[in-house]
Amino acid sequence: MTAATTPAPSDLEKQDLPKYVKSRLPGGFAAQKLIATGRRKTAVARVVLLEGSGKVIINGRTAQEYLQGNPLWLQYLKHPLATLGYETKYDVFVKAEGGGLSGQAQATLLGIARALCKANPDNRDPLKKQGLLTRDPRKVERKKAGLHKARKAPQFSKR
């Protein structure tokens, strides 16, 4: 009977997450020391690193919940920390906006890598060798007048 009356641990986590974020980030994102920005396509991710236990919180939700459990997107978040062996050293707080979840995950990867470089300049070489500090410049090409898409032309008719 007591199990039915007490909320599940995941429910407690969801209720306490905004309070946890506020307690860990006094003064908000802008007041933090280890803050970096990552971009991909039209997505922008502002990342804050704090000493902690390895939690990743994106827009007030856990990374697992926000990225819908997609293993590839979750791997993007862990890659820079795993490269340096810091999986459980830092808590990661992210504000992501624009684009889709894939672009936001990749923008977060770049933001985490840049923040780790701010934390310790010696981290730059291993991250650079893995290609984690390179901004991916590809964006969607705009549609041109007279074409169906950016480059797809209407069918050619000889007569």
* Residue 63 within any structural domain of the chain: yes
The total number of structural domains that make up the chain: 1
Find the helix or strand (DSSP H, E) in which 79 lies. helix 71-84
* Residue 136 within any structural domain of the chain: no
pLDDT at 7: 41
- CATH code of the domain covering residue 41: 3.30.230.10
* Residue 141 within any structural domain of the chain: no
Q: What pLDDT digit, counting tens, does each position of 18-67 carry?
A: 888 888 888 888 888 899 999 999 999 999 999 999 999 999 999 999 99
* Residue 145 within any structural domain of the chain: no
* 10 exposure class (CB count in 10 Å sphere: 0-12, 13-18, 19+): exposed
Domain of 57 in residue numbering reads as: 9-129
* Residue 137 within any structural domain of the chain: no
Specify the pairing of strand 90-97 against strand 56-58. Answer: parallel
* Residue 55 within any structural domain of the chain: yes
* Residue 29 within any structural domain of the chain: yes
Find the helix or strand (DSSP H, E) in which 57 lies. strand 56-58
- The CA distance from 158 to 138, in Å, is 36
* Residue 148 within any structural domain of the chain: no
For 120-153, b/e burial (b = at least 16 CB within 10 A) is: eeebeeebeeeebbeeeeeeeeeeeeeeeeeeee
Q: What pLDDT digit, counting tens, does each position of 59-90 carry?
A: 999 999 999 999 999 999 999 999 999 999 99
